[in-house]
Structure formats: structure tokens, C-alpha cells
């Protein structure tokens, strides 16, 4: 389509490189956010391991841990969340490979 037809049809003239750059920037931001989330989950799991294996914990912590053990362990939920984040990272990296121009 010519530039005149684009403007008549209401389609703006975009630079393909700018679109690719914008997509690339968004993908990098998503990857960074997911990486940060994974690091946070890892920190939380490590803190919980410390609570579970600590020399002595307060009554409130012992009660919380006993409740978790009786139902579902919070570390299981954290592991599931980490697995989901890794899957999301794989999808985004795959998308990034598809959208990154190869020279």
C-alpha cells in the first residue's frame, strides 16, 4: 500500500525496526521481572528451610509450620510457582528468538 492509502485507511506509517525494538524492549522487561520473581521465590524457600531446620523457633512459627505440614506445605506452593515462572521464561525466550531479526 502506498503512504497515501495508509493514511486514508487510518493506518499509520510505522517503521518496522521501531516495532521490533518496542517488542524486544517489552520482552526484556518481562524476562527481567520473571527472573526477579524466581530470585524472590528462591530467597523465600531458603528462609523457610532455615525456619524448618533452625535450632528453635517461636511458638507462633512452630504453630504456623505445624499447620503447613498438616495441610499443604508452603514450600510446595513456592516450588510450583517457580516451575510456572520457568515455563513462562521459556515461552518468552522462544518468542524473543522468533522476533529478533537475524542478520
Q: Residue ranges per domain, the chain?
A: 16-99
Pair 88, 32: CB distance under 8 Å: no
Query: How far apart are alpha carbons 98 and 102 in whole angstroms?
Result: 9
Extract the C-alpha cell encoding 3. 503512504
Pair 61, 51: CB distance under 8 Å: yes
Q: Is 97 a residue whose pLDDT tops 50?
A: yes
Cα angle, residue 93 at apex, residues 89 and 99 outer, rounded to 5°: 145
Who's near 68: CB < 8 A, 6+ residues apart?
Answer: 74
Interval 4-44: pLDDT, tens: 444 445 555 556 677 878 888 998 999 999 999 999 998 98
For the question of whether the overall pTM of this predicted structure is more than 0.85, the answer is: no
Task: Return the pLDDT at 56.
Answer: 67
Amino acid at each position: 500500500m502506498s503512504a497515501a492509502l495508509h493514511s486514508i485507511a487510518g493506518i499509520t506509517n510505522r517503521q518496522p525496526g521501531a516495532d521490533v525494538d518496542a517488542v524486544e524492549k517489552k520482552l526484556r522487561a518481562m524476562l527481567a521481572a520473571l527472573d526477579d520473581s524466581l530470585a524472590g521465590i528462591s530467597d523465600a524457600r531458603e528462609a523457610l528451610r532455615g525456619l524448618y531446620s533452625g535450632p528453635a523457633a517461636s511458638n507462633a512459627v512452630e504453630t504456623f509450620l505445624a499447620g503447613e505440614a498438616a495441610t499443604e506445605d508452603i514450600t510446595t506452593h513456592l516450588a510450583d510457582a517457580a516451575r510456572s515462572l520457568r515455563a513462562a521464561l521459556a515461552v518468552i525466550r522462544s518468542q524473543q528468538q522468533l522476533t529478533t531479526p537475524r542478520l
